Structure formats: structure tokens, C-alpha cells
Amino acid sequence: MKIPKSVKHYCPKCKKHTLQNIIQNKAGKKRGSTTKGARRHERRGGIHGYGGFPRPQPEKSPRHRKKTTKRVDMRLECPSCKKKSTVVNTFRIKKFEIVKTGV
């Protein structure tokens, strides 16, 4: 899906509509499994074995089918105050492309 590079949107900091740039947010580095839940998951064999937790799930059943796409995490950046805000109602897409429009 092609999305324009800049969009007119409301900036909560400036309190007015500005032409904002769309940025695709990338996931940061994982810090390792330090939380109690993650340690418990590893102890119960969550990261090795057959891949089910705590029991294997039927592969073909619609309840346990894997999703083929991920939700795109888009951010809007105001050019005047540099405030970044998230786009709340994002959608599932396989291909995501930010395209320069107009000019």
C-alpha cells in the first residue's frame, strides 16, 4: 500500500492543523528476558521444544492460525515543533511504502 509522505493533520502541541511527515516506526532492541513472566515462560519450556505453550495447539484449527500480516506502526511528525504522535487506527498490510506526492 502506498501512503503519501506528508499529510495535513492536527498537532496537539501547536493546537492547529499542519502538514505533517509520516514516519514508519521501527521496533527497538529487545533487552533480554528479565521480567518475571519471561523467566517463567522459559522455565516451562516456552522457547524450545514443539513451540506450544504449555501444550501444542492444533495447526489447522481457525482458533490457532497464524496471522500473515502485521499492523504498521506509523508516526506523524510536526515540522514546526518536532512533536511525534502515533496514528491510532492503523491497518494490516503486507507491503507498506511511503511515497512522495505532488510537487
- What domain count does the chain have? 1
Distance CA 59, CA 82 (A): 46
Residue of 32 and 46 predicted with greater confidence: 32
Q: What is the pLDDT of residue 55?
A: 61
Residue of 14 and 52 predicted with greater confidence: 14
Q: What is the pLDDT of residue 15?
A: 94
Q: How confident is the model at residue 52 (pLDDT cuts 50, 70, 90)?
A: low
Q: How confident is the model at residue 97 (pLDDT cuts 50, 70, 90)?
A: very high
Give residue 27's domain range: 2-99
Distance CA 8, CA 3 (A): 13
DSSP string, the chain: -EEESEEEEEETTTTEEEEEEEEE--------S-SHHHHHHHHTT-SSSSS-SSSPPPSSSGGGPPPS-EE--EEEE-TTT--EEE-SS--EES--EEE----
Domain with residue 31: its CATH number is: 3.10.450.80
Closest CA to 21 of 103, 101, 96: 101
Residue 48: is its pLDDT beyond 70?
Answer: no
Mean pLDDT of 58-67: 71
